[in-house]
Amino acid sequence: MIDLHCHILPDIDDGANTIEDSLEMARLAVSEGITHLLATPHHMNRNWMNEKRKVVALVKEVQSEIDREGIPLTIYPGQEIRIYGNMLEDIEKDTLLFTDELQQYLLVEFPTASIPNYTERLFYDLQMNGKIPVVVHPERNRIIQEDPHKLKELVQHGALAQLTAASYTGGFGKQIQKLSKQMIEADLVHFIASDAHNTGNRAFHMKEAHDLVIKEFGRRKWHQFDQTTKDLINGDVVIPPTPTNIEKKKFFGLF
Ligand code: FE
């Protein structure tokens, strides 16, 4: 299994603190069947600035520790980029990282409580430049929780979306779990990744998510997610299924 979203690098964001933490996460990942992992520290998110050069260097260091310990895991450099207006300029400056070496797919994070009003324009401009935005954990964004149609519009316009394993397995509560399942049903999300931060309260849950997808949607669905994951890391073309609507009812009684 490949995991495209994980905070395994030490002392760089709110993920692993030390190299020992990183190794512990690596062991847990392998125990769930993960063989390759994209290390995606936060970038441009509040105090976390993790430019390409720094991430690439740290991945090399951590990989050599993983190898020294004999853990059968390969890690690649990536980033979880908090959305900001000058992404295209920074792509020019070569400070951003993609999921693939061909530099086509970017993991983009929205703020928890909003979707910036320049998002559609930015996503359009990115795509005009051959860059495809991948919205990470849309199920945890409050605007999308209130109105999943907002995500559907972005997907219809060419964005992809990543569901977090623990959201789907219930780690963020029943409502987010329900929404996650509905998002899979409606083809609003294209693959599952862990967004693991540690081996405790924010662990991988990939094996659990894998088993639940097969139970609820069948092997074919998991194969589809797996193929999209591979396409994203190989830089191959992804042709996503056409998204459908989630029933109009509000998900979160609170809103
Ligand atoms: Fe993350």
- The string of DSSP codes covering 99-135 is SSTTS-EEEEE--SS---TTHHHHHHHHHHTT-EEEE
For residue 172, give both structure tokens: 């963020």
User: Residue 39 C-alpha to ligand 1 middle, in angstroms?
Assistant: 10
- pLDDT tens digits for range 122-177: 999 999 999 999 999 999 999 999 999 999 999 999 999 999 999 999 999 999 99
Residues above pLDDT 90, as percent of the chain: 95
- pLDDT tens digits for range 31-87: 999 999 999 999 999 889 999 999 999 999 999 999 999 999 999 999 999 999 999
User: Residue 80 C-alpha to ligand 1 middle, in angstroms?
Assistant: 6
Tell whether the model's pLDDT for residue 112 goes beyond 80: yes
User: Residue 195 C-alpha to ligand 1 middle, in angstroms?
Assistant: 5
For residue 127, give both structure tokens: 């795509």
CA 159 to chain centre: 13
| Interstrand relation of 80-82 and 74-77 (parallel, antiparallel or unpaired) | unpaired
Q: What is the residue range of 51's domain? A: 2-251
What's residue 105's pLDDT? Answer: 98
What's residue 252's pLDDT? Answer: 59
Tell whether the model's pLDDT for residue 121 goes beyond 90: yes
Tell whether the model's pLDDT for residue 178 goes beyond 60: yes
| Interstrand relation of 191-193 and 160-164 (parallel, antiparallel or unpaired) | parallel
What's residue 194's pLDDT? Answer: 98
What's residue 187's pLDDT? Answer: 98
Q: Residue 163: which CATH number?
A: 3.20.20.140
What's residue 16's pLDDT? Answer: 98
Q: Which helix (H) or strand (E) holds 163?
A: strand 160-164
What's residue 55's pLDDT? Answer: 98
Tell whether the model's pLDDT for residue 248 goes beyond 70: no
Higher-scoring residue by pLDDT: 7, 46? 7
Tell whether the model's pLDDT for residue 253 goes beyond 60: no
User: Residue 199 C-alpha to ligand 1 middle, in angstroms?
Assistant: 14
User: Residue 5 C-alpha to ligand 1 middle, in angstroms?
Assistant: 6
Tell whether the model's pLDDT for residue 220 goes beyond 60: yes
Tell whether the model's pLDDT for residue 199 goes beyond 80: yes
User: Residue 6 C-alpha to ligand 1 middle, in angstroms?
Assistant: 6
User: Residue 92 C-alpha to ligand 1 middle, in angstroms?
Assistant: 24
**How far is it, in rounded angstroms, from Cα 253 to Cα 85?**
33
Burial (Cβ within 10 Å: 0-12, 13-18, ≥19) of residue 205: buried
What's residue 225's pLDDT? Answer: 98
Which residues, in sequence order, are bridge partners of residue 134? 107, 160
What does the mean pLDDT of the chain come to?
96
What's residue 247's pLDDT? Answer: 74
CA distances from 193 to 12, 125, 139, 242 (A): 20, 26, 13, 21
Looking at the 3D structure of the chain, how many domains does it have? Answer: 1
What's residue 47's pLDDT? Answer: 81
pTM recorded for the entire structure: 0.95
CA-based nearest residue to 221, from 232, 231, 233, 209 = 209
User: Residue 25 C-alpha to ligand 1 middle, in angstroms?
Assistant: 15
User: Residue 197 C-alpha to ligand 1 middle, in angstroms?
Assistant: 8
User: Residue 173 C-alpha to ligand 1 middle, in angstroms?
Assistant: 18
User: Residue 13 C-alpha to ligand 1 middle, in angstroms?
Assistant: 10
